[in-house]
Chains A and B, each alone.
Chain A
């Protein structure tokens, strides 16, 4: 049996929140993917908006290169406010 393409589903749970990955499903086209996503992932009002994205269109960083990819941020603690000394008594800083 030929398999329908795979779609990744992202759901906005309520206004003001961003879309979050909920899961995936198979559907022949984008419209069917949206309808199926509504039935599979929002049966209890879990969402107010749905995105479906062809899984084949997603480019992901590789777990093998995780260290090389993310390490450069590891030694830049000065990007965090807690890095800095603040004299006692100084407020609103």
Chain B
């Protein structure tokens, strides 16, 4: 798991602010709000919240599957965990595209291990969702019929080998920034799944960085390929953090419930602050002339993200939406005979055991 930076540590007094977060925008760190910035309560004493649930949140306890919880909390988690799981398994496609064309056996073995990890991450997350009383088969149906979404980033194509590097470095890098705080999510099974995911994710980011570093220090054409991949991946990866806080209707409630710990804009800023020096180390540029260090803010400034593209991709108008989903549905249907054979074999074995037991 990536090393936690110091702002993730907190005292119980600081924790008290988490359930009061509200003006999403200046909640950078529900964890270390100063008293003068103390926000007003967003969900003070909601009548439908069981007392045991409130008590757990107030003491930074973890909610476990059979505990009492408000229906809204359960539904929010099911939606978020399911969409997270869908993203992991759809995310296998853009990279899987390059397994047969990886430039060396070493790169091929690494890429296969990474894509296999993504399948594993999907499984951890589906299992976490099932603890909330839903069925994995139903969640897959909802993915296949388009009723549940997955991260829009996977609706972009991987045109060159350098895209595999850019995905590892930027897309997995952004995912890590989003996921590390989820390791402290108030719902136990989700938090535990995220701990496993984060541990594995850091290899993903490094291998991407290494691919780009190698290309960037190769021939002119290789460097140009790396730069082109970064140019195309940069803005979509910033969009992974979601719409700006003002346009993110569910954020405040999720923060109050301890599902989400930082606002979209704060996580985006954190990602940019980490990434700019890494781009310098790669010898590549980021496609935004406005990026420069702001001494006063202690952060890098950047051009605001144009979210019209994100909303278009969410609506289904991204470059690969149709291809990703139809490939997923086909893989599922083509695998039906394997599931049927396994079930038939299990039935036969069970019947045989029963017969032996009777004899």
Per-residue interface assignment for chain A, residues 1 to 17, with 1 indicating a CB less than 8 Å from any chain B CB and 0 otherwise: 11110100000000000
- Shortest B188–chain A CB gap in Å is 12
CB < 8 Å neighbour of A43 from B116, B136, B192, B339: B116
Nearest residue (CB) in A for B347 is A28
Determine if A29 and B345 form an interchain contact, defined as CB atoms under 8 angstroms apart.
Answer: yes
Known: A4-B343, A60-B66. A29 touches B349 (CB 8 A): yes
Q: Tell me which residues from 329 to 359 in chain B have a Cβ below 8 Å from any Cβ of chain A.
A: 339, 342-343, 345-346, 349-350
| Complex CA distance for A51 and B82, rounded to whole angstroms | 27
For the complex, is B67 an interface residue (Cβ under 8 Å from A)?
yes
Determine if A43 and B342 form an interchain contact, defined as CB atoms under 8 angstroms apart.
Answer: no
| Complex CA distance for A4 and B140, rounded to whole angstroms | 14
For the complex, is B130 an interface residue (Cβ under 8 Å from A)?
yes
Contacts of A63 in B (CB 8 A): 64, 66-68
Contacts of B193 in A (CB 8 A): 23
Q: State the interface size on chain A (CB cutoff 8 A).
A: 21
Determine if A1 and B130 form an interchain contact, defined as CB atoms under 8 angstroms apart.
Answer: no
CB < 8 Å neighbour of A25 from B113, B127, B342, B343: B127
- Supply 29 A–B pairs (Cβ within 8 Å), ascending by A: A1-B137, A1-B140, A1-B141, A2-B137, A2-B343, A3-B135, A3-B136, A3-B137, A6-B130, A23-B127, A23-B196, A25-B123, A25-B127, A27-B342, A28-B339, A28-B342, A29-B346, A29-B349, A29-B350, A32-B342, A32-B346, A40-B120, A40-B123, A43-B116, A43-B117, A43-B120, A43-B200, A60-B66, A63-B66
B interface residues (Cβ-Cβ under 8 A, vs A): 64, 66-68, 113, 116-117, 120, 123-124, 127, 130, 135-137, 140-141, 192-193, 196, 200, 339, 342-343, 345-346, 349-350
